[in-house]
Amino acid sequence: MKLTAGQLQRFDREGYLFFPDHFRPEEIKVLIDEVPSLYAQRRPENVREKGSDAVRTNFAAHLYSYPFARLARHPRMVEPVSQVFGEPVYMHQFKINGKMAFDGDVWQWHQDYGTWKNDDDMPEARAMNVAIFLDEVNEFNGPLMFIPGSHKLGVIDAEHDTSTTSYPLWTISHDTISKLVARGGIVAPKGSAGSMILFHSCLVHASSSNLSPWNRISVYLSLCAVSNHIRRFKRPEYIAHRDFTPIECLPDDCLLRDYPVALPWRNGTPPEALRAELAA
Protein backbone atom coordinates (compact mmCIF):
# COMPACT_ATOMS: atom_id res chain seq x y z
CA MET A 1 0.00 0.00 0.00
CA LYS A 2 1.36 3.40 -1.01
CA LEU A 3 0.23 6.84 0.12
CA THR A 4 -0.71 9.41 -2.52
CA ALA A 5 0.95 12.81 -2.81
CA GLY A 6 -2.20 14.37 -1.34
CA GLN A 7 -2.15 12.01 1.65
CA LEU A 8 1.51 12.75 2.31
CA GLN A 9 0.78 16.48 2.24
CA ARG A 10 -2.16 16.07 4.63
CA PHE A 11 -0.08 13.96 7.00
CA ASP A 12 2.63 16.62 7.02
CA ARG A 13 0.06 19.36 7.68
CA GLU A 14 -2.23 17.67 10.23
CA GLY A 15 -0.07 14.89 11.68
CA TYR A 16 -2.46 12.00 11.04
CA LEU A 17 -4.36 10.08 8.37
CA PHE A 18 -7.63 8.19 8.90
CA PHE A 19 -8.59 5.17 6.78
CA PRO A 20 -12.19 4.03 7.44
CA ASP A 21 -12.91 0.30 6.97
CA HIS A 22 -9.28 -0.40 6.07
CA PHE A 23 -9.57 -4.04 7.18
CA ARG A 24 -12.52 -6.25 6.31
CA PRO A 25 -14.86 -7.66 9.01
CA GLU A 26 -13.57 -11.20 8.50
CA GLU A 27 -10.00 -9.98 9.04
CA ILE A 28 -10.90 -8.12 12.23
CA LYS A 29 -12.81 -11.16 13.55
CA VAL A 30 -9.57 -13.18 13.50
CA LEU A 31 -8.01 -10.56 15.78
CA ILE A 32 -10.88 -9.75 18.15
CA ASP A 33 -11.56 -13.46 18.74
CA GLU A 34 -7.99 -13.78 20.06
CA VAL A 35 -8.19 -10.91 22.56
CA PRO A 36 -10.12 -12.60 25.44
CA SER A 37 -7.55 -15.39 25.75
CA LEU A 38 -4.71 -12.84 25.73
CA TYR A 39 -6.34 -10.66 28.37
CA ALA A 40 -7.07 -13.69 30.56
CA GLN A 41 -3.39 -14.63 30.85
CA ARG A 42 -1.46 -13.66 33.97
CA ARG A 43 1.56 -12.47 32.04
CA PRO A 44 3.60 -9.36 32.87
CA GLU A 45 2.60 -8.03 29.43
CA ASN A 46 -0.95 -7.40 30.72
CA VAL A 47 -1.19 -4.05 32.53
CA ARG A 48 -4.48 -3.76 34.40
CA GLU A 49 -6.49 -0.70 35.41
CA LYS A 50 -6.01 0.75 38.88
CA GLY A 51 -8.48 -0.90 41.24
CA SER A 52 -9.86 -3.18 38.52
CA ASP A 53 -9.03 -6.45 36.80
CA ALA A 54 -9.81 -4.90 33.41
CA VAL A 55 -6.82 -4.91 31.07
CA ARG A 56 -5.61 -1.44 30.12
CA THR A 57 -2.81 -2.56 27.82
CA ASN A 58 -1.50 -5.86 26.54
CA PHE A 59 2.08 -5.65 25.29
CA ALA A 60 4.01 -7.65 22.68
CA ALA A 61 1.25 -10.04 21.57
CA HIS A 62 2.99 -10.31 18.20
CA LEU A 63 5.65 -12.43 19.93
CA TYR A 64 3.25 -15.08 21.28
CA SER A 65 -0.03 -14.86 19.30
CA TYR A 66 -0.33 -16.14 15.71
CA PRO A 67 -3.00 -13.64 14.54
CA PHE A 68 -1.15 -10.63 15.94
CA ALA A 69 2.21 -11.87 14.68
CA ARG A 70 0.71 -11.85 11.19
CA LEU A 71 -0.81 -8.39 11.72
CA ALA A 72 2.63 -7.09 12.72
CA ARG A 73 3.82 -7.95 9.21
CA HIS A 74 0.81 -6.61 7.30
CA PRO A 75 1.67 -4.51 4.23
CA ARG A 76 -1.37 -2.26 4.65
CA MET A 77 0.23 -0.68 7.70
CA VAL A 78 3.98 -1.34 7.34
CA GLU A 79 4.42 -0.08 3.77
CA PRO A 80 3.03 3.46 4.22
CA VAL A 81 5.19 4.01 7.30
CA SER A 82 8.31 2.86 5.46
CA GLN A 83 7.29 5.20 2.64
CA VAL A 84 7.12 8.22 4.96
CA PHE A 85 10.55 7.50 6.48
CA GLY A 86 12.17 6.35 3.26
CA GLU A 87 13.70 3.28 4.88
CA PRO A 88 12.75 -0.03 6.53
CA VAL A 89 11.08 0.00 9.94
CA TYR A 90 11.17 -2.21 13.02
CA MET A 91 8.61 -2.80 15.76
CA HIS A 92 9.38 -0.47 18.65
CA GLN A 93 6.21 -1.26 20.58
CA PHE A 94 3.10 -3.41 20.11
CA LYS A 95 0.02 -2.81 22.27
CA ILE A 96 -3.60 -3.96 22.41
CA ASN A 97 -5.29 -1.21 24.41
CA GLY A 98 -8.49 -2.24 26.14
CA LYS A 99 -10.79 0.69 26.78
CA MET A 100 -13.26 -1.71 28.36
CA ALA A 101 -16.96 -0.93 28.85
CA PHE A 102 -17.57 1.01 32.10
CA ASP A 103 -13.98 0.39 33.32
CA GLY A 104 -11.70 1.89 30.65
CA ASP A 105 -9.76 4.78 32.19
CA VAL A 106 -8.30 7.94 30.68
CA TRP A 107 -5.08 8.37 28.75
CA GLN A 108 -3.80 11.85 29.62
CA TRP A 109 -2.67 14.38 27.00
CA HIS A 110 0.79 13.38 25.78
CA GLN A 111 3.14 12.85 22.85
CA ASP A 112 4.45 9.35 22.35
CA TYR A 113 7.83 10.60 21.22
CA GLY A 114 8.17 12.43 24.53
CA THR A 115 8.21 9.05 26.28
CA TRP A 116 10.38 7.39 23.64
CA LYS A 117 12.93 10.22 23.88
CA ASN A 118 12.99 10.47 27.68
CA ASP A 119 12.80 6.78 28.53
CA ASP A 120 14.28 5.02 25.50
CA ASP A 121 16.75 7.59 24.08
CA MET A 122 15.23 7.42 20.61
CA PRO A 123 17.30 9.97 18.66
CA GLU A 124 14.60 11.61 16.49
CA ALA A 125 10.83 11.56 15.97
CA ARG A 126 11.25 9.12 13.07
CA ALA A 127 8.71 6.71 14.48
CA MET A 128 4.97 6.54 13.97
CA ASN A 129 1.88 4.97 15.49
CA VAL A 130 -0.62 2.85 13.62
CA ALA A 131 -3.97 2.39 15.39
CA ILE A 132 -6.39 -0.30 14.19
CA PHE A 133 -9.94 -0.40 15.58
CA LEU A 134 -11.01 -3.87 16.72
CA ASP A 135 -14.35 -2.46 17.91
CA GLU A 136 -16.49 0.36 16.62
CA VAL A 137 -15.25 3.69 17.97
CA ASN A 138 -17.96 6.25 18.71
CA GLU A 139 -18.33 9.46 20.71
CA PHE A 140 -19.34 7.54 23.83
CA ASN A 141 -16.63 4.90 24.31
CA GLY A 142 -13.53 7.06 24.73
CA PRO A 143 -12.32 7.83 21.19
CA LEU A 144 -8.75 8.89 20.57
CA MET A 145 -8.48 12.70 20.42
CA PHE A 146 -5.85 14.63 18.44
CA ILE A 147 -4.79 18.26 18.30
CA PRO A 148 -4.14 18.69 14.54
CA GLY A 149 -0.84 20.30 13.65
CA SER A 150 0.60 19.95 17.16
CA HIS A 151 3.35 17.67 15.82
CA LYS A 152 4.86 20.71 14.09
CA LEU A 153 5.99 22.06 17.47
CA GLY A 154 8.39 19.19 18.14
CA VAL A 155 8.86 17.88 21.68
CA ILE A 156 6.73 19.82 24.17
CA ASP A 157 7.64 20.18 27.85
CA ALA A 158 6.03 17.41 29.90
CA GLU A 159 6.13 15.94 33.39
CA HIS A 160 6.36 12.27 34.29
CA ASP A 161 3.00 11.23 35.73
CA THR A 162 3.42 7.95 37.61
CA SER A 163 0.34 8.14 39.84
CA THR A 164 -2.81 9.19 37.95
CA THR A 165 -3.36 5.90 36.15
CA SER A 166 -1.82 2.43 36.05
CA TYR A 167 0.54 3.31 33.18
CA PRO A 168 3.05 6.18 33.56
CA LEU A 169 3.21 8.85 30.85
CA TRP A 170 5.08 12.06 30.17
CA THR A 171 2.02 14.30 30.29
CA ILE A 172 1.45 17.88 29.09
CA SER A 173 0.08 20.63 31.35
CA HIS A 174 -3.50 21.86 31.12
CA ASP A 175 -2.33 25.37 30.29
CA THR A 176 -0.28 24.15 27.34
CA ILE A 177 -3.15 21.97 26.09
CA SER A 178 -5.53 24.94 26.24
CA LYS A 179 -3.15 26.97 24.05
CA LEU A 180 -2.66 24.11 21.60
CA VAL A 181 -6.41 23.56 21.25
CA ALA A 182 -7.00 27.28 20.70
CA ARG A 183 -4.46 27.02 17.87
CA GLY A 184 -5.50 23.71 16.25
CA GLY A 185 -8.77 22.45 17.75
CA ILE A 186 -9.56 18.84 18.63
CA VAL A 187 -10.57 15.98 16.34
CA ALA A 188 -11.64 12.45 17.29
CA PRO A 189 -11.69 10.02 14.35
CA LYS A 190 -14.58 7.59 14.73
CA GLY A 191 -15.63 4.61 12.67
CA SER A 192 -16.33 0.93 12.41
CA ALA A 193 -14.06 -1.92 13.43
CA GLY A 194 -11.32 -2.28 10.83
CA SER A 195 -10.63 1.45 10.51
CA MET A 196 -7.01 2.57 10.79
CA ILE A 197 -5.16 5.73 11.83
CA LEU A 198 -1.56 6.66 11.12
CA PHE A 199 -0.31 9.42 13.41
CA HIS A 200 2.96 11.25 13.99
CA SER A 201 4.85 10.47 17.20
CA CYS A 202 4.83 14.17 18.20
CA LEU A 203 1.07 14.60 17.65
CA VAL A 204 -0.52 15.51 20.99
CA HIS A 205 -3.33 13.08 21.83
CA ALA A 206 -5.44 11.67 24.65
CA SER A 207 -8.64 9.74 25.32
CA SER A 208 -11.33 10.01 27.97
CA SER A 209 -12.71 7.21 30.13
CA ASN A 210 -15.25 4.77 28.73
CA LEU A 211 -18.50 4.99 30.68
CA SER A 212 -20.50 3.40 27.89
CA PRO A 213 -21.60 -0.28 27.73
CA TRP A 214 -19.42 -0.80 24.61
CA ASN A 215 -15.81 -1.97 24.60
CA ARG A 216 -13.29 0.03 22.59
CA ILE A 217 -10.32 -2.22 21.88
CA SER A 218 -7.62 -1.04 19.49
CA VAL A 219 -4.21 -2.27 18.40
CA TYR A 220 -1.35 0.23 18.45
CA LEU A 221 1.79 -0.61 16.52
CA SER A 222 4.70 1.79 16.95
CA LEU A 223 7.03 1.51 13.97
CA CYS A 224 10.46 3.14 14.00
CA ALA A 225 12.96 3.77 11.21
CA VAL A 226 15.72 1.20 11.66
CA SER A 227 18.48 3.84 11.65
CA ASN A 228 16.62 5.64 14.47
CA HIS A 229 16.53 2.71 16.90
CA ILE A 230 16.55 3.32 20.65
CA ARG A 231 19.85 3.67 22.52
CA ARG A 232 18.70 3.14 26.13
CA PHE A 233 17.10 -0.03 27.53
CA LYS A 234 15.56 1.57 30.61
CA ARG A 235 12.24 -0.24 30.17
CA PRO A 236 11.59 -3.98 29.93
CA GLU A 237 11.87 -5.40 26.43
CA TYR A 238 8.19 -6.31 26.25
CA ILE A 239 7.47 -2.55 26.42
CA ALA A 240 10.33 -1.17 24.29
CA HIS A 241 11.73 -3.77 21.91
CA ARG A 242 15.44 -4.29 21.36
CA ASP A 243 15.28 -6.26 18.13
CA PHE A 244 15.89 -3.75 15.35
CA THR A 245 15.47 -6.22 12.48
CA PRO A 246 13.50 -4.66 9.59
CA ILE A 247 9.95 -5.98 9.29
CA GLU A 248 9.42 -8.24 6.30
CA CYS A 249 5.82 -8.00 5.11
CA LEU A 250 3.61 -11.00 4.50
CA PRO A 251 1.13 -11.07 1.60
CA ASP A 252 -1.97 -8.87 1.88
CA ASP A 253 -4.21 -11.84 2.81
CA CYS A 254 -2.05 -12.79 5.80
CA LEU A 255 -4.86 -12.42 8.36
CA LEU A 256 -6.98 -14.98 6.51
CA ARG A 257 -4.30 -17.50 5.53
CA ASP A 258 -2.03 -19.45 7.85
CA TYR A 259 1.40 -18.10 6.89
CA PRO A 260 4.17 -19.37 9.18
CA VAL A 261 5.54 -16.83 11.67
CA ALA A 262 7.92 -17.14 14.60
CA LEU A 263 6.50 -16.96 18.14
CA PRO A 264 9.60 -16.71 20.34
CA TRP A 265 7.66 -15.92 23.55
CA ARG A 266 4.89 -18.47 23.08
CA ASN A 267 5.95 -20.45 26.16
CA GLY A 268 6.42 -17.44 28.39
CA THR A 269 8.25 -14.14 28.67
CA PRO A 270 12.03 -14.70 28.66
CA PRO A 271 13.70 -13.49 31.88
CA GLU A 272 15.97 -11.09 29.98
CA ALA A 273 12.89 -9.34 28.53
CA LEU A 274 11.82 -8.39 32.06
CA ARG A 275 15.07 -6.69 32.94
CA ALA A 276 15.84 -3.03 32.42
CA GLU A 277 19.31 -1.66 31.71
CA LEU A 278 20.64 1.88 31.72
CA ALA A 279 22.33 1.75 28.34
CA ALA A 280 22.34 -0.23 25.13
Q: Whole-number mean pLDDT of the chain?
A: 91
pLDDT average, residue stretch 242-269: 96
Task: Name every residue whose Cβ is closer than 8 Å to that of residue 234 and which is 6 or more positions away in sequence.
Answer: 119, 120, 121, 240, 276, 277, 278
**Is residue 280 over pLDDT 50?**
no
Query: pLDDT by residue (tens digit) across 39-94?
Result: 999 999 988 877 777 788 899 999 999 999 999 999 999 999 999 999 999 999 99
Contact 108, 70 (CB under 8 A): no
In the chain, where the domains are located? 15-273
What is the CB neighbour count within 10 angstroms for residue 199?
23
Residue 180 φ/ψ, nearest 5 degrees: -65, -40
Query: What is the predicted pLDDT for the residue at 158?
Result: 72
| Percent of the chain whose pLDDT exceeds 90 | 75
**Is residue 168 over pLDDT 70?**
no
Residue count of the chain, please give it: 280
Most confident region among 160-174, 199-213, 217-231 by mean pLDDT: 217-231
What separation, in Å, do the N-terminal and C-terminal C-alpha atoms of the chain show?
34
Query: What is the predicted pLDDT for the residue at 165?
Result: 52
Query: What is the predicted pLDDT for the residue at 279?
Result: 47
Domain 15-273 carries which CATH code?
2.60.120.620
The SS3 call for residue 150 is helix
Query: pLDDT by residue (tens digit) across 14-40?
Result: 999 999 999 999 999 999 999 999 999
Q: In what order do the strands lie in the sheet with 205-207?
A: 144-146, 205-207, 107-110, 169-171, 159-161
Query: What is the predicted pLDDT for the residue at 210?
Result: 83
161 band by pLDDT with thresholds 50, 70 and 90: low
